[in-house]
Chain A
């Protein structure tokens, strides 16, 4: 008896105008969201290529180890086309440095060329699906009982030997049978657009995760159908049911997501970034002071002169054409300073991780509040399945911090801070003392540094002082005299492969919640319908 009813429901729904308009709505909105997000993904991908090339070039074209600081460039997640999660807000580049552990990624793709565009929001497939599926579910269920009651057909049906549970099961099946093709059509449309837009290649893995997303969407759809049936069983006229459903729709789908983030931001404050920067700056200053003290304890070189110097942040010092004792001074300096800076990074991490935790805490609070709405739960699951949620990003950052440790071990195993190759590619056998260097550079005009200094002091024009030193070029006083480092043994960071169900496992609680909610609502609807006055 259930199936004839389901069939009848299905056919009436299929022929109704609301089905046509709902279908057209899907037909317009789904391609709209997919196309916009493919465009965004492509842009992120092309920026990723640029950044990855630049990062690769930056590690390949170094001549000293103090300049070797890899940058990890996170690839965009293909499934971000379906659910962006937080991927548009976080950056894609993380520099690996000795003096600081990476905190957050830099370089947000969306606003790189024009930061004002950050004030424009954008929706993805899951946002649209959350809006459309819930709306359709309500549209086909808000008057499930009340309309038939008004028409008088409900009384007629109940006059037959038909159980109320059978009728309810028939209704549920009928509505789901109407919506199921729409849902799968939406996913199919998305898949077709992905396939049609050439250079996007999804792996079997990604298709699998997309199928999981479709399954979760079905659950989401069912929850709204049950809410609609419950409303219909508890109201007297279709108009009342409609108004109630529309308000529930706006409340669940539009208001709660904004409300949850806003309330989380007001009531679960994050630590002040300015404060963190100040704490980090203080620690950096203290370390710099320690290094300066250490420098004072070092024996002074005979000549503080570097023919070519390339300095930079994070301990980068590239020196050419110095005296042997200056090189030795630099070597001892690096031996003293670099471990201090690595310690400093560990010390700074306390404050940094507290800040990072406060960001996560706020976001978790927002998630919990959003779980008041099935749409919020659906979005959380979707971003987890698509690998674009907070958890995925935080664990990617943790991976990079682990990679930093690997990289540090790589440097330490080479005892690199004790070696000249940390700051100059010149072999120690070529080092000269100050007198020999002055003699060679001036072509024998001055035999010692003292002679040169005595002469130089009398020169008012500073340019002349340098001109005489330029007379003879000494091999090895320019970077171009040396090849790039061979860094083929440097460990590389690899993105951890994500298993098919990892996102689902991470959001198992939410999936369970959605399922329990569905069952509970169905039960409520059942009870309400049992008590429904069919006259």
Chain B
């Protein structure tokens, strides 16, 4: 019985005006997105290569000067543009995209100046995740908002139920057919976009891309399922289709506009963190205390005589200052991470937001990616420090007074650049991507089941006449 209903509903959807319009809109946006992606990514990659080459050159110069300069000078690691940015960009250009570090510490992160044009209002890139999150979510509502109330108005609902058909089967048939119709549009759009990208050289076919596409499809299917359930709920909650339309639109506005746009407000009011000024004054106070406690003459520095005995005091003081500042700042960074993660979790009550986080995990992008780089850089920093200390230990002239800031109390020998450990960003592994996604996945599945059951409950009591 379900098969008959499904077939009828799908055919009904496929021949409808909304299907044709949705398909045209989705295909148009997919093509606009992929073709401008190709154009944009070439310039972005060229700029990035230049930046990288410069950073390497600066490092090579320091290594040629001496190992101490290589260790104490601060460097910036800029996150590379992702090859799969056409799947999801996860607002990476607004997120911190560079980390400042030296062999002694991972200092801070920043959004590099020039990543965003400040004269453009914030906007989403036209990638797959945006198209699904905005347009396909709308289409999912469009296919379901009048599924029940529309038929009631057309007086076919009573007719359908006068046959040997259960309400459960009828509702499930309508539900599945809507999801399948939405997915048909999505698959067609994705195929066109992929073909465009592969043919124009914007992407290369690989097992990873196949897996990411499949993962993305699953996430999108889950979103379509959730929103179709909400659409059905709107449809069975009202007696006429005009009202169910407004209900469905309200759901959509809530998920697409209201919840995602109140995140910053929620973060600041529900999970407040210290002001940056307060943190700075804490650092200043720690510095002042250390300076006061330091033996007199600790600030003495003479660049012309690097191994002057006073420089040991200076090295001790600088190490203590580094540790003090590091512990204060790292605590602040942890508070930032916590604030951001909690807000995201709360934002994920909107299925559209949850989908964006899922897509972000599928693409190995955005915040999880940044956190991985941040953690990996800490490991790399430890290795660099060990490398430096071992190198310094081999220099008989060096007094080994470790000073994390200045080149006045450790080895003055140049180091061969090729032997220095280098940092490269490793793509996220499957488990690293899956771990942050699980919670959003569970939330979305639970929500879908709950809403579907609720609409079933209402449909059973629905007056079909």
Q: What is A's interface to B at a CB cutoff of 8 Å?
A: 16-18, 21-22, 25, 29, 32, 36, 39-40, 43, 50, 84-86, 88-91, 104, 110-123, 128, 131, 135, 139, 239-240, 242-244, 246-247, 250-251, 254-255, 257-259, 261-267, 269-270, 272-276, 278, 359-360, 362-363, 366, 390, 393-394, 460-463
Assess whether B47 is interfacial by the CB under 8 Å rule: yes
* A247-B21, A462-B308 known; A29+B95 contact, CB < 8 A: no
The reply to whether B114 and A265 contact each other, CB–CB distance below 8 Å, is: no
The reply to whether A122 and B261 contact each other, CB–CB distance below 8 Å, is: yes
Interface of A is mostly: helix
Expressed in whole angstroms, the Cα–Cα distance for A90 and B110 within the complex equals 16
* A86-B119, A118-B95, A120-B343 known; A135+B126 contact, CB < 8 A: no
The reply to whether B120 and A267 contact each other, CB–CB distance below 8 Å, is: no
* Besides the known contacts A240-B17, A262-B36, 12 further A-B residue pairs in the complex with CB atoms under 8 A apart: A40-B264, A113-B336, A117-B340, A131-B257, A246-B142, A250-B134, A262-B124, A265-B117, A272-B114, A274-B50, A359-B119, A362-B117
Assess whether B419 is interfacial by the CB under 8 Å rule: no
B-side contacts of A110, CB under 8 Å? 264
The reply to whether B262 and A122 contact each other, CB–CB distance below 8 Å, is: yes
B29 to nearest A CB, angstroms? 7
Q: Give which listed residue, B36, B94, B138, B296, contacts A267 with CB less than 8 A.
A: B36
The reply to whether B117 and A116 contact each other, CB–CB distance below 8 Å, is: no
Q: Give which listed residue, B22, B260, B276, contacts A121 with CB less than 8 A.
A: B260
The reply to whether B268 and A115 contact each other, CB–CB distance below 8 Å, is: no
The reply to whether B258 and A32 contact each other, CB–CB distance below 8 Å, is: yes
Q: Give which listed residue, B135, B242, B261, contacts A255 with CB less than 8 A.
A: B135
Expressed in whole angstroms, the Cα–Cα distance for A393 and B340 within the complex equals 30
A-B contacts, 6 listed (Cβ < 8 Å): A113-B336, A128-B257, A274-B50, A274-B54, A362-B119, A463-B310
A-side contacts of B150, CB under 8 Å? 239
Q: Which 6 A-B pairs have the closest CB atoms?
A: A273-B114, A266-B36, A363-B119, A120-B263, A119-B91, A261-B123
* A22-B246, A390-B119 known; A118+B111 contact, CB < 8 A: yes
B-side contacts of A135, CB under 8 Å? 249
B-side contacts of A111, CB under 8 Å? 111
Assess whether B164 is interfacial by the CB under 8 Å rule: no
Q: What is B's interface to A at a CB cutoff of 8 Å?
A: 17-18, 21-22, 25, 29, 32-33, 36-37, 39-40, 43, 47, 50-51, 54, 90-91, 94-96, 109-114, 116-126, 130, 134-135, 138, 142, 150, 240, 242-243, 245-247, 249-250, 253, 256-258, 260-265, 267-269, 273-277, 296-297, 300, 302, 308-310, 336-337, 339-340, 343, 347, 366-367
Q: Give which listed residue, A258, A267, A278, A359, contacts B126 with CB less than 8 A.
A: A258
A263 to nearest B CB, angstroms? 6
The reply to whether A89 and B21 contact each other, CB–CB distance below 8 Å, is: no
The reply to whether A266 and B37 contact each other, CB–CB distance below 8 Å, is: yes
Expressed in whole angstroms, the Cα–Cα distance for A278 and B267 within the complex equals 37
* A18-B246, A39-B269, A261-B121 known; A274+B114 contact, CB < 8 A: yes
Expressed in whole angstroms, the Cα–Cα distance for A240 and B19 within the complex equals 12
The reply to whether A86 and B246 contact each other, CB–CB distance below 8 Å, is: no
The reply to whether A255 and B366 contact each other, CB–CB distance below 8 Å, is: no
A315 to nearest B CB, angstroms? 22
The reply to whether A273 and B113 contact each other, CB–CB distance below 8 Å, is: yes
A-side contacts of B339, CB under 8 Å? 114, 116-117
The reply to whether B121 and A119 contact each other, CB–CB distance below 8 Å, is: no
Closest to B242 in A: A18
Q: Pick from A123, A135, A258, A359 the residue with the most CB of B within 10 Å.
A: A258
The reply to whether B109 and A115 contact each other, CB–CB distance below 8 Å, is: yes
B-side contacts of A21, CB under 8 Å? 243, 246-247, 250
B-side contacts of A463, CB under 8 Å? 296-297, 300, 310
* A18-B243, A463-B300 known; A117+B264 contact, CB < 8 A: yes
Expressed in whole angstroms, the Cα–Cα distance for A314 and B67 within the complex equals 31
Expressed in whole angstroms, the Cα–Cα distance for A456 and B48 within the complex equals 53
Q: Pick from B90, B96, B247 the residue with the most CB of A within 10 Å.
A: B96
The reply to whether A461 and B142 contact each other, CB–CB distance below 8 Å, is: no
A-side contacts of B336, CB under 8 Å? 113-116
Expressed in whole angstroms, the Cα–Cα distance for A122 and B125 within the complex equals 16
The reply to whether A262 and B50 contact each other, CB–CB distance below 8 Å, is: no
The reply to whether A247 and B264 contact each other, CB–CB distance below 8 Å, is: no
Q: Give which listed residue, B123, B261, B274, B340, contacts A123 with CB less than 8 A.
A: B261
The reply to whether B249 and A266 contact each other, CB–CB distance below 8 Å, is: no
The reply to whether A261 and B120 contact each other, CB–CB distance below 8 Å, is: yes
The reply to whether B134 and A254 contact each other, CB–CB distance below 8 Å, is: yes
Q: Give which listed residue, B51, B120, B130, contacts A274 with CB less than 8 A.
A: B51
Q: Pick from A116, A254, A276 the residue with the most CB of B within 10 Å.
A: A116
B-side contacts of A114, CB under 8 Å? 267, 273, 336, 339-340
* A114-B267, A123-B257, A240-B17 known; A32+B120 contact, CB < 8 A: no
Q: Give which listed residue, B40, B247, B263, B367, contacts A266 with CB less than 8 A.
A: B40
The reply to whether B242 and A17 contact each other, CB–CB distance below 8 Å, is: yes
B-side contacts of A265, CB under 8 Å? 40, 117, 120
Closest to A274 in B: B51
A190 to nearest B CB, angstroms? 17
Expressed in whole angstroms, the Cα–Cα distance for A437 and B341 within the complex equals 62
Closest to A254 in B: B134
